[in-house]
Structure 1
Amino acid sequence: MREAVRELHARGHQAVVVAPEVNVRVKAEDFFIKKTYAIPYTQDDFNYFLMGRFNLFFERVNFLTLFWKTAEATKNASVVFARSCEALLHNKDLIRDLNASSFDVVLTDPVYPCGAVLAKYLSIPAVFFLRFLPCDLDTEGTACPNPFSYVPALLTSNSDHMTFFQRVKNMLYPLALKYLCHFSFTPYAHMASELLQRDVSLGEIFGSASVWLFRGDFVMDYPRPIMPNMVFIGGINCANRKPLSQINLDEVSEN
């Protein structure tokens, strides 16, 4: 989000970035105000749980072994994120300060739903800035049609021209991811229910977003149905692009 926040600042907006004291990439900048809160982890703990298990994706193992290793790593990271969110939502001084600031919008990546829960708790419109949400939570949150027979599911390696059995695989494959999503996202529904003192579902949390900004594009992804508040901003993370090399087309055609 750094480039988006920088542009908002250049247009006269004041941005406040809320982050745990221990984090991986959020550093102080002159174009936003940084507010932090304490979490029960050291920097080494944080780095290990969030960054230390990426090597498993390069291991040559069968699918079931990879799935269970991924599930274990995801569960450990999910616990870290959930406890970090609890530390934020129970920080009465920080919440009081944020509530008194009368923000116009919360810009957050819903793959970590804490920002979405915070926006709902403070009754501030939310703008989601994301690549995608697993388990089709993005299509559920936007009430968007999701035809499994035509849109290839994540990690299936299917194309947009599927045989009958590929279409069946496309419908069954996401069921395994539901297990990962259950313990990754369910805690935030419990937090929201506790804060708002009523039952709150994940669908309600994600469905409360005003605008969804997807860092993707149909140049890279297969076309799919979209709703009016789904905007594709592919290329926004290519801000530090290099100019194309100069080529003499006459010389290329001669060769």
Structure 2
Amino acid sequence: MLPHSSLFTFALLLIQLSSASGGKILVFPLDGSHWVNMKVLVEELHAKGHEITVVRASDSWYITENSPLYTSVTVPSTGGFDEKHFEAFFVRHLEMRFQGRHASSWYKTWNRIRMERQSVDQFSQLHKGLSEMADKMFGDKNLMQSFKETKFDLVLTDPGIGGGTMLGRWLQLPLVFNVRWTIQGEAHLLIAPSPLSYVPFTATELTDKMSFPQRIKNMLSYIFGMYTMSQVTEPHYKPLVEKYFGPDVDYSTFFLDADIWLMRNDFVFDFPRPTMPNVVYMAGFQCKPPKPLPVDLEDFVQSSGEHGVIMMTLGTLVSNLPQDVAEEIAAAFAQLPQKVIWRYMGQRPANLGNNTLMVDWMPQNDLLGHPKTRVIVTHGGTNSVQEAIYHGVSVVGLPLSFDQPDNLNRIRAKGGAVIMDIAELDRHNFADALKTTIYDPSYRENMQRLSRLHRDQPVKPLDLAVFWIEYVIRHKGARHLQTHSYKMSWFVYNSIDVMAALLAVVLLVAFSCIGIVRLLWRIIFVGRKIKPE
């Protein structure tokens, strides 16, 4: 039998576990690839016994209405992701990239401005639809009352959209972010000191070691980028905040309310920079050990012999490429002794080699974890890059848009990737890039070193994320980890008032000293001249 003290300790542990396993969590996710990440958390929380409710738009692309993992609340709106609309955006984006292929540098600069403008318009339309969804949700009094009556323990949301943070404020619930980006940019920029001397701004493709011209570029990019993002989001969310929370409420403060920021990166992937105590790094939380491949795919992989396998995928949104580009890629693959597995749903290239298997879908994680995989050709999405780090596989990057160039640049800076402009790709330079990553051992060694660093931690990233979610449930928040800087104006945060007061004191003392000296001068020297006379 256990002694009484042990029984008491065991009982306390059971109470703590039961209190964590009975949580009610309201999830307000972002659709598309962001939902793929959120769903990993939802699956794990459901397995731990939590009751999950997911708010979704009626036209959601990835987020299904019926699921054994959660109860869904569907809001009639256009706040989801339209698959055809996003595919059309990427087609237009690629067309613009290829238009400037053989043009002058001036035209390429103008073309890049056009592409940036297109991306801004795309995001503006996205936030317009999402704000309309939030408006319908808050306007449905019965729905909001049901949320209150359910007595949720916390709101879990992606701050890449605004609705979840507003819902958390409206329900007065603890808030947990599954985050890398907020509607105001990269998450660290919002909550942590971010010296632009060594913290590269989004989309600059800079590292933490910048020359003077690069620091000028970084500063200008920050000013322009932050202004652009405010113009993209404020017109859609600010009126909502005024409507439901009052005209004196600053909507930007909603994004500072989170108790815990579950950050989808770490300092194996990112460059070191200041952070905050309520930021929890869970990079690679979606990565898993590989499972056995289907028999036919395993046979193809094994047929590669000592040469190994190349895998290529440009994500779910890019199913095909201009035919001449696809022909060049196929011709490059055909030159190599490796076997190739290429996820591609466009027209079959005429010069496709016997070594290349084209598929509509591939088990990416399982292939990356296979010992015969030598390199992945990828667009540089966060999930693909994190999985490449986890499995220690070299990368050839073909970035297309959004955060992809920055993601790949971080791997290149750490010696694990070669990056190419897809608009400049031909069979020769593409084959050279593949040979470099395959036959130069430094690329594989660097990626395996990153893999060892990433895996060498006391708690798995997914377990760490779930712990902190349950921590917030147990303690009804984590306000003790928030700094008071969130509530300060920029004037107070940067101690402008203190510096002004100190400067005033220095000036007062200086003028007082000057005044005293002048007075003494007049008494001593001027007085002597007057006295003999």
- Give the alignment's TM-score, normalised by structure 2: 0.43
Change (3 A) 1:51 1:217: farther
**Deviation of residue 208 (structure 1)?**
0.8
Query: SS of 2:51's equivalent?
Result: coil
Q: Which has the higher helix share?
A: 2
Query: SS of 1:15's equivalent?
Result: strand
Q: Whole-Å Cα distance in 1 between the matches of residues 89 and 269 of structure 2?
A: 27
Q: Whole-Å Cα distance in 2 between the matches of residues 117 and 74 of structure 1?
A: 19
Mapping 1:1-255, distance limit 5 Å: 1-27=38-64, 28-39=66-77, 41=78, 46-58=82-94, 59-60=96-97, 61=100, 62-133=111-182, 135-136=184-185, 138-139=187-188, 141-142=190-191, 144-186=192-234, 187-239=236-288, 241-242=365-366, 244-246=369-371
Query: SS of 1:52's equivalent?
Result: helix
Q: Whole-Å Cα distance in 2 between the matches of residues 86 and 209 of structure 1?
A: 21
Q: Whole-Å Cα distance in 1 between the matches of residues 47 and 55 of structure 2?
A: 20
Question: Do 2:174 and 2:258's aligned partners in 1 also have CA atoms closer than 8 Å?
Answer: yes
Question: Do 1:78 and 1:183's aligned partners in 2 also have CA atoms closer than 8 Å?
Answer: no
What whole-Å deviation, never above 9, does each CA across 1:42-65 have from its counterpart, x for those lacking one?
Answer: 98x944555531334433252211
**Deviation of residue 229 (structure 1)?**
0.5
Q: Can you give the 5+ residue segments of structure 2 that lack an aligned partner in the other structure?
A: 1-37, 101-110, 291-364, 373-533
Query: SS of 1:209's equivalent?
Result: coil
Q: Which has the higher contact order (CA 8 A, sep 6+)?
A: 1
Question: Do 2:265 and 2:283's aligned partners in 1 also have CA atoms closer than 8 Å?
Answer: yes
Identity %: 28
The one-letter code sitting in structure 1 at the alignment partner of 2:158 is D
**Deviation of residue 158 (structure 1)?**
1.1
Question: Do 1:37 and 1:87's aligned partners in 2 also have CA atoms closer than 8 Å?
Answer: yes
Cα RMSD for the two superposed structures: 2.4
Query: SS of 1:18's equivalent?
Result: strand
What whole-Å deviation, never above 9, does each CA across 1:227-254 have from its counterpart, x for those lacking one?
Answer: 000111101232474283358xxxxxxx
What whole-Å deviation, never above 9, does each CA across 1:44-101 have from its counterpart, x for those lacking one?
Answer: x944555531334433252211122222222222211221121112121211111111
Matched residue, 2:434:
none
Q: Whole-Å Cα distance in 1 between the matches of residues 218 and 169 of structure 2?
A: 33
- Give the alignment's TM-score, normalised by structure 1: 0.86
Question: Do 2:123 and 2:232's aligned partners in 1 also have CA atoms closer than 8 Å?
Answer: yes
Change (3 A) 1:51 1:178: farther
Question: Do 2:208 and 2:271's aligned partners in 1 also have CA atoms closer than 8 Å?
Answer: yes
Question: Do 2:54 and 2:70's aligned partners in 1 also have CA atoms closer than 8 Å?
Answer: yes
**Deviation of residue 191 (structure 1)?**
1.5
Question: Do 2:58 and 2:76's aligned partners in 1 also have CA atoms closer than 8 Å?
Answer: yes
